[in-house]
Chain A
Amino acid sequence: MLAFIAGRLLAAVPVLLALSLTVFALLHIGPADPAVLLLGENVGTEALAQARADLGLDQPILVQYGRWLGSLVHGDLGRSIRTHQPVGEAILARLPVTIELGLLSMVVALAIGLPLGIYAALHRNSALDVASSSVAVVGIALPNFVLGLLLILFLSLWLGLLPPSGYAPFVQDPARNLELMVMPALTLGAALAAAIARMMRSSLLDVLRSEYIKTANAKGLDRRRILLAHAIRNALLPVITIVGLQVGALLGGAVLTETVFALPGIGRLIVDAIFARDFPVVQGVVLFLGVLRIACNLGVDIISARLDPRIAFR
């Protein structure tokens, strides 16, 4: 298994290189110049040339990329052009927010999606099945910032139950932290919950139609036991794959969710950096998200193998 993990990690290196090179190229192709954004248009060409030289932007793009890789090897992601903050420090400062948001959203998604999917499969074509399918479709289709604003409208403005936006570190004030995270987690988790419910339903229906379930039924096994020990366990595999794949969507959704709820997370960092053409920050965050994504896929593979002995580590 260790060899498997090591192999996968090695395979990730070219992926990350390609990713960072693509982002590098995209940033430099774009029309805006970080030096102008930093200094304004009026400072004169000399000052702008000086600023470009200071930032290393006067070099050919491959040289810039090479330099970036070189410092990356030394664990240095560079400094933000706009705020001069080290990029690593900026990412680390925002990491807890986005990680917590992601985990809580996942919890919300699983807590809503799994039971709903299972119930729908067991009571196919019941009123609740139809209702949950409809809700799931809406949940997938509804942009999450709309859901976020609706939640704020209902829960904060009309009912006064929760504070509308903001962040409090968990270590400082756990109660306040959770209070502030409820709506963002619901917002971000909703679409995923819908996806999970749909997948769980169809997957469980497939399993319930399979031969071994019929056999188990014929043997007179307890229905509850069949469901828990055989059906759901096997039906979970495709769901876990979906969850793993959805991590990317979750990170994308985090950008909007963090903006709506004014959370100081990675999503807002990269959006601001893109608009400000803050190249080092964009590069650093993209690389980081790439690593995160690969780690999630690896995690999914490991969990799948644990659940299904037929999947071997290769």
Chain B
Amino acid sequence: MNSSAGGDNFPGRRIGRRDLLRGAALSGAAFWTANLLTACQQRSPVPRAPAAASGTPVAEVPKRGGILRVALSNEIAGVDPYGNTSVSDKCVYHAVYDGLLGLDRDLRIVPQLAASWAMPDERTYVFTLRDGLVFHDGTPCDAQAVKQSLDWLLDPANPAQARPELSEVQDLVATDRKTVTFRLKTPSSALLTTLADRAGKVVSPTARAKYGKDLARNPVGTGPFRFIEWLQDDHLTLKRFDDYWDKGAPLLDTVVFRPIPDQSVALTELKTGNVDLVSFLDPKDLAEVRANTRLVSLEAPGLSFWGVLPNTTRGPLASKPLREALSFAIDREAILAAAAFGVGQVAHGPIPPSSWAYDPDAPVIRRDLERAKVKLAEGGWPSGFPVRVLTPPSLQRTAQLVQAQAREVGIDVQIQVLEATALFSIAQGSDNEAVVIGWGGRADPDGNVFPMFHTKGGWNGGKYSSPEVDRLIEQGRIVSDQAERKRIYQAIQQQLNQDVAYIFTNFRPVLHATNTSVRGLQAHPDQALRLQTTWLSA
């Protein structure tokens, strides 16, 4: 079975920098369905010692010390949780910055800087901090520091990508040294998950004042590792923070991140023993890593979904029957096999298998050329129609498959390959007819539907607007009962498929490769590496 999501190409270097395709963990106390979990564990080729919390199949005593050398697939732009972040940046800031809350591998909320939290009413969240927290620069991390850090993020005068994620927050109050109260404008069922991601990270106010705009090059947090040096495009070094709140962690002395843009070179570095871990492994290399007894693949289902986004207001795909025709013409299994190297699974909606809101029973739309032809006739183009489709270079293969499949019913897909940065600007405009694109995904399902499918979504490139879906999405943000929310997201998914707001093709997993000495590390759906419990065996 396809237990983890896969894709034709990994979120690309430029793509990864964008909100659009970033695998950001925003939310969700969550469980995988039991069969998924089992399947994923079976897929791990070598019995490994996972993170302490998950139990240890092999009796190995974790060892202190050592240098972990990590190859990153794209450049580090800066170490700033609130700022512009690629997956590479994310791995680094997760090691330097702790947040109020954490997110475990099953997307459940876990305590981090906040030891506990309470919700006296639906617009108030009260967090109680741990004792004796300090930043790497010695500044105490008390309620006041948390408030200062978050106040900076909430202030519209400051440039911060993460601000919209806290749009429901009215203000913060430092009730006493250890207590921070969030007051909300409206109830928000995703707030905890949001705070478990970048928006809940806490930055040293002393360092903020000292470095200002240069903070991203001089990060100071409370995380397990402190920043040492960064030679751009070459390496970034972190060292163990001895006063980390979780005594005994981290185990590693040093972590060195090296951006190595070419993945085949990064894998050679891994095989020749010059790095210990290659992050964000491309699905095309997974089979090779699995087959190599000296390498280990770390796999987790991801948060992203992939497919074709039609413009629902302009061009031929503004017609619903023509969108349906295109959707029926597409063979999702073939795209998964050929463009995603069989890694992952076919998609039936925006909620991926890592999420508690995932619906394993929802039907995948099957290829049906007869129905496609009927829909073409219904749309007034019985012998097919021409449509321009934009694609970034990383998804060209998917675009070509769509082109070949659509041609069989007479739909003439004209592919236009555009460098990712330019593509995202154009795709947001009104002139595009369709885009082959994915969404990096968030831990809370709201983050997988609001941006692309709500009328006011920040990345609604398809200009899709459905009062019913808008209402459901808004409802999903307020309702706190998880079972009820799950039903809401299933209803949204159904409506999106009915309207063909997006042609979902496949889900991708998160993949990393390590050598056999790396222990206590697992892939996480949100892509960031959690190095607190990682250690190196001899």
B-binding residues in A (CB < 8 A): 30-33, 36-44, 46-47, 50-51, 54, 82-85, 90, 93-94, 145, 149, 152-153, 156-157, 160, 163-167, 259-265, 268-269, 272, 275-277
Contact = CB atoms under 8 A, between A and B. Distances in A.
Nearest to A90: B232
B253 to A, nearest CB: 20
What 8 A-B pairs have minimum CB-CB distances, sorted nearest first?
Answer: A42-B458, A264-B233, A264-B234, A42-B164, A31-B425, A40-B161, A40-B19, A32-B425
Contacts of B428: 41
A272 B75 contact: yes
B160 interface: yes
Contacts, number: 143
Interface stretch (B40-48, B261-269, B395-403): B261-269
B537 to A, nearest CB: 23
B389 to A, nearest CB: 17
Contacts of A262: 233-234, 258-262, 265
Nearest to B232: A264
A152 B268 contact: yes
Contacts of A152: 264-265, 268
B422 interface: yes
Contacts of A50: 156-157, 159
Interface in B408-446: 419-422, 424-426, 428
A259 B261 contact: yes
A269 B428 CA distance: 27
A83 B77 contact: yes
Contacts of B161: 38-40, 42-43
Interface stretch (B213-221, B283-291, B467-475): B213-221
A31 B269 CA distance: 37
A145 B264 CA distance: 12
A32 B420 CA distance: 10
Contacts of B20: 41
Given A31-B422, A44-B164, A275-B14, A164 B272 contact: yes
A106 B75 CA distance: 28
Given A262-B234, A263-B234, 7 more contacts: A84-B213, A152-B265, A152-B268, A165-B265, A167-B234, A259-B262, A276-B14
Given A42-B164, A166-B258, A260-B262, A32 B274 contact: no
Contacts of A39: 84, 159-161
Contacts of A164: 265, 268-269, 272, 274
Given A152-B268, A276-B77, A40 B164 contact: yes
A39 B162 CA distance: 8
A42 B167 CA distance: 10
Nearest to B271: A157
A19 to B, nearest CB: 22
Contacts of A93: 231-232
Contact of B19 (A41, A51, A54): A41
B17 A276 contact: yes
B437 to A, nearest CB: 13
B163 interface: yes
A127 to B, nearest CB: 35
Contacts of A145: 262
B268 A153 contact: yes
Given A31-B422, A31-B425, A264-B232, A41 B459 contact: yes
A220 to B, nearest CB: 58
B195 to A, nearest CB: 17
Contacts of B62: none
A40, A85, A167: residue with the most chain B Cβ atoms closer than 10 Å? A40
8 contacts: A39-B161, A40-B19, A42-B164, A85-B232, A152-B265, A152-B268, A264-B234, A268-B261
B451 interface: yes
Contacts of B233: 94, 262-265, 268-269, 272
A83 B216 contact: yes
Nearest to B20: A41
Contact of B265 (A40, A44, A261, A268): A261
A41 B458 CA distance: 6
B384 interface: no
A166 B274 contact: yes
Question: Which has the most chain B C-beta neighbours within 10 Å: A259, A262, A265?
Answer: A262
B78 interface: yes
Query: Which of A84, A156, A160, A265 is packed against the most chain B CB atoms within 10 Å?
Result: A84
